[in-house]
Structure 1
Amino acid sequence: MKLIKNKIIAGVTIAATAAFSYTASAANFKMAIGDAAGGTQWELAKTFSELMEKKTDGKVKIDLFPNGQLGNEQDTVNDAAIGLLDFSVLAINNVTPFSPTVGLLTMPYVIQSPEDAVLLTQGQVGQELVDNTIRDAGVRIVGWAYSGFRVLTNSKKPIASPEDLKGLVIRVPRNEIMIASYQAWGVNPTPMAWSETFTGLQQGVVDGQDNPYITVYAMKFNEVQKYVTNIRYIFSLEPLIISESVFQQQSPEMQKTILEAGKEATDHSFAYLEETESKIRKDLQAKGMVITEPANGEKEWIENVTTAVWPKFYSSIGGKEKLDNVLELLGRQ
């Protein structure tokens, strides 16, 4: 956070100089997208862009830059924080280093259904995390892409239990909760930037990774991965963020339009997930991917991380009571 705050101070002049373009009756914005075109990040971004153009009678246009063209996902948080970037769509685990309480939504096996994800992101819990992210990181979450559960893929063998992971090198984001989860399953994963992941899998630097089916499909991981394990330890959420300094430079009417478009794009994202995930899974199987269900209803996977990982991160997410309240809200005490 020291890095961000220092950059914010250094970037005040830049942001102020650019302010006139954001408050004009017509405006062009830039949006970074971590994934390639075709995934849920792209679908959210495209829908939001279309809605903004429609709601402003064409006065607002948003240029989309997919596949990390404007930098890796964590870099885009920094750039948005200082007003050098308007919007970004990225994996929630890349927001967590800047606003640790958001890690609540990446705690393994807290979210166990798409409906759980909607309840948490669009209710009181989600609003609190939005407020925290504005405070901590200088960016505002205005929309959510629902991408589905992160399934495990690898190029070596079918995986049914944590024991089967031994000997495999698994890529994870630079996210402490996800790293700790794999350690609880008995392996030391390899943190790797998203932009390097396909090449790492292709060259055999890493054997596997985890991401939702839609992301696996959009990134063409089936070309370098054969086996899928249907673990459901994290439901992948991809927030759409706007630079808070850029947001505050808008008129009240424009702010309202941004929030409305974000809500409508979020609703579309959930419908898109429901419509496409099963089709994509079948297509990946047709392309040669082999899908394995976890042994014993995922019992060992769940027990290992809830006992070893949850206590390590109580303080960063706001305390054990915070997690207990969320579990109660979800009907699981």
Structure 2
Amino acid sequence: MNNKKLMAIFSAVSITLMSSNVFAQTFKMAIGDAAGGTQWELATKFSEMMKEKTAGKVKIDLFPNGQLGNEQDTVNDAAIGLLDFSVLAINNVTPFSPTVGVLTMPYLIQSADEAKLLTQGPIGKELTDNTIRDAGVRIIGWAYSGFRVLTNSKRPVKSPADLKGMVIRVPRNEIMIASYQAWGVNPTPMAWSETFTALQQGVVDGQDNPYVTVYAMKFNEVQKYVTNIRYIFSLEPLIISESVFQQQSPNIQKMILDAGKEATAHSFTFLKNTESSIRNDLEKKGMVFVEPANGEKEWIDAIKKNVWPKFYGSIGGKDKFDHVLKALGR
């Protein structure tokens, strides 16, 4: 018998032995976005891995498109054990665990590789520990969604001055609100579940999200122009209620953590393989893409002057921010 067959038999026996002590369970997972985006991709991969690792004894029921409440509500529900899992934008975790906000500092992360380095390295481990302490939830995986680009229904936007008179939707996140204020507009904080309707009805003119989210949410139906600002790399953690996690056996806890790592790796590959094609599809659907003037200099200068200093305190101090920059080689 060759080595490959021996390994296959060993793997099958291992799964059987490990799952023999697993009781049948069904968990609920909230997903903020619609099916088809990076949140969904992360969630489905995690669900598949848990099913495989437990020989089908653990099932994850997925509830996309905010069916179980807005993203911040799901953090509350998970914290008190009413919800098992949630995949959500990181800016909706930040109000509960402010130091996580370092990953939302504008123009900090400048590539997908930098996002991976921060989330999967020592800094990501520290932020996970802080989130358990502060919010009662544990980050077990990450969806990588790419840079948040600005969309609007009014006109091409190349500089902050072009935003004048526009109503821009943002999450209820102080750093993101301050970013638009630094660019000369007062944005409108709004729950994610309300955003499509608000854009459709003209209550707001624009919003920002990665290509994949724009595509999954069909924003091309209500938005015309895309400005390729790269101010925030969108990270979407998969969280589990810490109380639910602690109720599991060590065996199941390990499976959850391992499945989270595998789903994270899958998400990174998914972004790399699909981002360009999604942009092309959006262009074919009629969206007009605009590059910011002068390499985003005006956008960046306003952020570094007016936003970074304002939030050093909330993310753990300027030393913490400098530590993250150093980890990125800057």
Do they fold alike, i.e. is TM over 0.5?
Answer: yes
Q: Distance in 2 between matches of 1:129 and 1:253?
A: 24
Choose from 55, 60, 63 the match for 1:62: 60
Which of 139, 142, 159 aligns to 1:141? It is 139
1:184 aligns with 2:182: yes
CA distance, structure 1, for counterparts of residue 57 and residue 193 of structure 2: 33
**Alignment partner of 2:313 out of 309, 315, 324:** 315
CA deviation map 1:134-171 (0-9, x unaligned): 00000000000000000000000000000111011100
Q: TM-score scaled by structure 2?
A: 0.93
C-alpha deviation, 1:119, in angstroms? 0.4
The within-5 A match list for 1:67-106 is 67-106=65-104
Following superposition, the deviation at residue 273 of structure 1 comes to 0.3
Cα deviation, 1:8-28, whole Å, max 9, x if unaligned, reads xxxxxxxxxxxxxxx961110
User: Is the 2:167–2:205 Cα contact (8 Å) retained in structure 1?
Assistant: yes
Q: What does 1:1-333 correspond to in 2, within 5 Å?
A: 25-332=23-330
Paired with 1:70 and 1:329, the residues of 2 have a C-alpha distance of: 37
Q: Which residue identity is paired with 1:74?
A: Q
Structure 2, gaps ≥5 residues long: 1-20
Check conservation: 2:22, 2:252, Cα contact below 8 A: no
SS of equivalent to 1:128: helix
Structure 1 stretches of at least 4 aligned residues deviating more than 2 Å after TM superposition: none
Q: Give the whole-Å Cα distance in 1 for the aligned partners of 2:325 and 2:296.
A: 19
8 A contact 2:30–2:63 mirrored in 1: yes
Q: Secondary structure at the match of 1:31?
A: strand
- Is the CA contact 2:22–2:57 (under 8 Å) kept in the aligned structure 1? no
Matches of 2:59 and 2:81, distance apart in 1: 18
Distance in 1, matches of 2:103 and 2:305, equals: 17
Q: Distance in 2 between matches of 1:113 and 1:324?
A: 18
Aligned to 1:18: none
Using the aligned pairs only, state the percent identity.
82
Normalized against structure 1, the TM-score is what? 0.92
Letter in 1 for 2:277: K
What is the identity, as a one-letter code, of the residue corresponding to 2:93? Answer: V
3-state SS of paired residue (2:313): helix
Q: Which has the larger radius of gyration?
A: 2
Following superposition, the deviation at residue 329 of structure 1 comes to: 1.1
